[in-house]
Chains A and B, each alone.
Chain A
Amino acid sequence: MSAASHEPAIRLRDVEKRYAIGSGEVHALRGLDLEVARGEYVSVMGPSGSGKSTLLEILGCLSRPSAGRYWLNGVAVDGVDADGLAKLRGEAIGFVFQAFNLLPRMTLLENVALPLLYRGVPRAVRHERALGALARVSLEHRAAHRPGETSGGERQRAAIARALVNRPSLLLADEPTGNLDSAHGREILALLEGIHGDGATVVIVTHDPSIGARTPRRIAIRDGKIESDQRGAASGPEGRAQRGGAERSEES
């Protein structure tokens, strides 16, 4: 964040990611270039195994590329040590997962306050800010409940509140509506759009074309490479990002 503000939020150069699985190797990303400007709202789509989740993990500093370089807000991530990455994850990035990944033994409030804990924010302030974040997703009345006592939609909203609580510049969402019905999914998408409206860069990974259709920029990924990168309104039958898939237009 100390870098100049004209730097893009995300810049990937020739990024590769390989995993050793048993005796073989999986080549999840094969030389991927990507630039995302600040404040952009991007969806990344692709079939399973295309490498889109791996891409998101690298963007979120959850793993490092095997080759290539990654600049986050102009900072080269490969020069940052493990603690530095933890700091980046905690302060610059917010995550929303498909499985929500709330900690089951904590109340929603405690879950939301967790990133603040690792940032060293005092207890009283943590409490206040976590409540504020919960209010933003209209869940302040559920603050003292544990995730098991809430619905899927509420859990994902709480997860979004958790992602927001540190006011990250980059919000990464991995299939955020994958475990929800369409009504709750729309609710979540509306929240994400609101966050984007507040100026954050938002990247959503999904295989659902109807979500992709709502974002101003759509990246399709296949076999570890970017297949297409489209900008502008894409709703309607023009959606070329969909390869052979049924044209589902559930949106209003």
Chain B
Amino acid sequence: MSALESLREALRLLRAQPLRSLLTLFGLVWGTAAVIFLLSWGTGLSTMLDTAFQRAGKNLVQTWPGRISEDFSPAVDRRWLWYTPADVTALRQRVRESDLVAGETRTHAPVAFRGRALSLEVRGVEPDGETIRGVPLASGRLVSHEDVEHRRRVLVIGQRARERLLGAEGRVGSWVRLDGTPFQVVGVLARVGTQLSRDGAEIDDQAWIPLSVHLALFPNPYLDEQMLNTILAHAKDRKRIDAAESEMRRVLAERLGVRADDEEAVPIFSPVQMLKRIPIDQQNGLNLIIAITTLLVGGIGILAMMLDSVQERRAEIGVRLALGARRRDVLLQFLWEGVAIVAIGGALGVAFGAGGALFLASDVFRGRIPPALRDLVPIPELSGAMVLLAVLAMGVVAIAAGVAPAWSAARIDPAETLRVD
């Protein structure tokens, strides 16, 4: 019997038992589709979290002023610490794991444009800080070294703040009043999107002015010293963020005269470290377990079908052997049944799984998500490897499940299989 005849025979037998074939097919389709969908969703989720956590800045390491944590001193007596531009200079010189360091100040201030006024989060920034934030421009330019040096009253505005403050008529070149002082808008930032890690308002709602101008406009009311709200650093290597952190901590502790292991005195934070604390790998592991379980269930479906069909068809195997079938013919027939159903189910499963993933990634679907949530809905990411994995796993299960029992039935004397009934 030729392979073609054998395949035809297998297909005919699948058609002859439509319900059983359909149920098996369903398990297969579901298993394959679920694996592909879950894995691509998981990958998309990782990417989404990574992106959303790093919108405040890639490889960002950030520190805020802290306070000395000495157990024996009453809380009210604890000394408050603060950073000055000199600390930024020291970090620039001494921290090797970081290539960019910048100070930042922030305050809330009323900003007015043609009779419209808003309270915006206004930040004093330096060009290095802007580079660390890494926000592209929608139009205009960023705050430059010259702006900082010459204390120019220029302002770069976040996307959402622009919409709310400037509306349709405002653009680069427009003048606004910041706490009564006129500033010229020189740049508009592109939309950043939802930040899962942020220090204050989202960048989309901020307005940036030169750090020097900010320090002059909003001086420290208590001390005759320039106080920074935060220091930003960019770690050269994402994998060495820990090292960058401890280097910064050592330098700052030394400068502040506190113990280097006092994490409350020098609070350092980085979104990547935060991200590590989210059990995303476990989540993906869980997805994988669910996917494999689903595959197994599909496989068991096939196994059940094949076992059933061998048990039920022991007599049939006997009859076929009596009519001149070789063992190989019988095996091939079962093999083809498995292969045919895996091919059909696998193809449908891939179509549904990949189709579902592609649909969720499509503009049609993305457009229907409310803008506020859009950045937090993962875009499924398909990979050929996971499709292959799903199909291979199903294929191996189905073929093993199909052939093994048939093998045992075809090995014994045909007389024995015939005598069963």
Residues of A within 8 A of B (CB): 57, 60, 62-64, 82-83, 86-87, 89-91, 95, 97, 99, 101, 103, 105-106, 110, 114-115, 117-120, 123, 162, 166
Question: Does B237 make an interface contact (CB < 8 A)?
Answer: no
Assess the A106–B16 pair: CB atoms within 8 A: yes
Assess the B17–A95 pair: CB atoms within 8 A: no
Please indicate which of the listed interface residues A62, A97, A114, A162 has the most CB atoms of chain B within 10 Å of its own CB. Answer: A62
- With both chains docked as a complex, state the minimum distance between the C-beta of B316 and any C-beta of chain A, in angstroms: 6
- In the assembled complex, 10 residue pairs joining A and B whose CB atoms fall closer than 8 Å, in A order, are A60-B322, A62-B318, A62-B322, A63-B416, A82-B327, A86-B324, A86-B325, A89-B321, A95-B323, A103-B319
Interface string of B310-347 (1 = CB under 8 A from A): 00000110111111111111000000000000000000
Given A99-B421, A105-B16, the answer on whether A118 and B413 have CB atoms closer than 8 Å is no
Please indicate which of the listed interface residues B2, B17, B325 has the most CB atoms of chain A within 10 Å of its own CB. Answer: B325
Question: Does B253 make an interface contact (CB < 8 A)?
Answer: no
Please indicate which of the listed interface residues A103, A117, A123 has the most CB atoms of chain B within 10 Å of its own CB. Answer: A117
Question: Does B75 make an interface contact (CB < 8 A)?
Answer: no
Assess the A118–B325 pair: CB atoms within 8 A: yes
Nearest residue in A to B324 (C-beta to C-beta)? A90
Chain B residues in 8 Å Cβ range of A97: 418
Given A62-B414, A62-B418, A101-B418, the answer on whether A90 and B1 have CB atoms closer than 8 Å is no
Assess the A87–B324 pair: CB atoms within 8 A: yes
Other 15 A-B pairs with CB < 8 A, given A63-B414, A106-B12: A57-B415, A64-B413, A86-B321, A86-B327, A89-B324, A90-B323, A97-B418, A101-B319, A103-B319, A103-B320, A105-B17, A110-B12, A118-B325, A118-B329, A120-B1
Chain B facing A: main interface SS: helix
Chain A residues in 8 Å Cβ range of B319: 101, 103
Chain A residues in 8 Å Cβ range of B320: 103, 114, 118
Which B residues between 369 and 402 are near A, CB-CB below 8 angstroms?
A: none
Assess the A118–B414 pair: CB atoms within 8 A: no
Contact of A103 (CB < 8 Å), options: B316, B414, B415: B316
- Measured in the bound complex, the distance between the Cα atoms of B1 and A83 in whole Å is 12
Nearest residue in B to A90 (C-beta to C-beta)? B324
Assess the B327–A119 pair: CB atoms within 8 A: no
- With both chains docked as a complex, state the minimum distance between the C-beta of A126 and any C-beta of chain B, in angstroms: 10
Chain B residues in 8 Å Cβ range of A87: 324, 326
Question: Does B242 make an interface contact (CB < 8 A)?
Answer: no
Chain B residues in 8 Å Cβ range of A166: 324
- With both chains docked as a complex, state the minimum distance between the C-beta of A163 and any C-beta of chain B, in angstroms: 9
Question: Does B5 make an interface contact (CB < 8 A)?
Answer: yes
